[in-house]
Amino acid sequence: MSNFRVFSTKCVTFLRKTFINSSSITLRRSLSQKSHHTYSIPENRNRLTKLLTQICGGCIACGLSAYCLKDRKFITNKFIVNALEPSDDNIPRMPYSFLADIVDMTQPAVVYIEVNIRNPYGHGVVKSHGSGFIVREDGLVLTNAHVISRQSVVEVKLQDGRVVKGQVQAVDSVTDLATVKIDEKNLPVLKLGKSSASRPGEFVLAMGSPLTLNNSVTHGIISTVNRGSQELGMGVRDMEYIQTDAVITKGNSGGPLVNMKGEAIGINTLNVMAGISFAIPSDRAAEFLRKAEELEKRAANKGWFGMGSKAVTTRQNRYIGITMFTLSPEFLSDLQARVPNFPQHITSGVLVPTVIHGSPAHRAGIQPGDVIVRINDKDIKSSAEVYKILETSESLIVQVYRHNQKFQLTITPDTID
């Protein structure tokens, strides 16, 4: 008899003895106490319930132990004494690897995007990066507008290791979406799902290249499918976002948020804090792609062109290159409780989750995670106030908090023709 059988048999014997002794003691106590006391009907009922609970627990324990002894598919018949022993290939992995199957099906269409940007602090260039995914077999890639950082040419790395030049075709800075065209054929395509059919609680995978780590995957659930831009304090944008707890970090932007059918239901956009990330719904992306295709047919524009620019510019076409979230009292309280070194004494402001490389804000020294509390001697309570000041000011003297340190920075907006 193997060591495992001896051990399991002893467990069963112990459980049986424990069950019998416990039941006998309870019964004896009940009979003994009954001879001295008169119990009401509810008290007798409670004592009987406890006795039956112990009997049922003992039966379940014995049954589980016997099942483990009988069925060797789930529990090995011996103790593991050497980690180098061959694994049991008869144990099926299929029920536990459905996420891996979805990754195998969708990841070939995910690409890594690298952008070379003139160094705002000196000579040479700096590299920015992000993700995207192929939406047409002739080489059309969908990504975020902020990933391409207002460049016209980028480098695209495919899953098979090839690195090719990509031409930026269409940019919509309102929805923060862009397309890049690469000169390749017969490429794997990731289908866009219907984001409006998604429900809170569904499992999702966030795919991309966080921190330049290619082919990375995180998973989570959909927290909500229609988090409004007004609710997030992004007053200029009329948008709704998919909120998820799947980790979306720097470099994941532009990659797909994939459902369990292997469809992209969102485009990863930004992370606010641990457990709170946002993606652009695929329904909005599908609308953008239709408009981009019409634009592509009408003109072969090889530079930066936009189909709307309120997100990064004002009515006077001033551009600073950040995204902002208004710090509502509830949101601010949550950040102060959950984020280490978040400034505890501020009562209002806007959080900057994303700064576009090479933008005026980036050149001025604004960093992701900064909190803007004051501009041009005016206290800031919402992102709408920032846009309003930008309309009338050619220079912004910005007071920000970075962790618990206060900085004063000067941003000179760019003007886009």
**Mean pLDDT across 144-164:** 85
pLDDT digit string, tens, across residues 277-296: 889 999 999 999 998 887 76
Query: Fold identical between 102-182 and 317-416?
Result: no
pLDDT of 399 strictly over 90: yes
The phi and psi torsions of 144 (rounded to 5 degrees) equal: -85, 150
Q: Is 120 exposed, middle or buried (0-12, 13-18, 19+ CB in 10 A)?
A: middle
Which structure tokens are listed for 353? 């989750």
d(CA 194, CA 142) in angstroms, rounded, equals 16
Tell me the CATH number for domain 317-416: 2.30.42.10
Amino acid in position 153: V
- Residue 3: the pLDDT is 52
Name the amino acid, one letter, at 119: N
Global confidence as pTM:
0.61
Give me the count of residues in the chain.
417
Q: DSSP labels for 3-42? A: HHHHHHHHHHHHHHHHHHHHHHHHHHHHHHHHHH----HH
With 80 as the cut, is the pLDDT of residue 151 above it? no
Q: Provide the annotated active-site residues.
A: 146, 176, 253
Confidence of residue 29 (pLDDT cuts 50, 70, 90): low
Domain edges within the chain: 102-182, 195-285, 317-416
Using a pLDDT cut of 70, give the percent of the chain over it.
64
Find out whether 317 and 416 touch, Cβ atoms under 8 Å: yes
pLDDT at 364 over 60: yes
CA distances from 230 to 234, 276, 328, 382 (A): 6, 17, 11, 10
Residue 2: pLDDT band by 50, 70, 90 thresholds?
Answer: low
Fold of 102-182: Thrombin, subunit H (2.40.10)
Predicted confidence band of residue 406 (pLDDT cuts 50, 70, 90): very high
Which of the listed CATH numbers 3.40.50.620, 2.40.10.10, 3.30.300.30, 3.20.20.150 matches domain 195-285? 2.40.10.10
Average pLDDT over the chain reads 76
Q: What is the pLDDT of residues 178-236, one digit of tens each?
A: 999 999 999 999 999 999 899 999 999 999 886 666 678 888 999 988 777 666 655 54
For residues 46-59, average pLDDT: 65
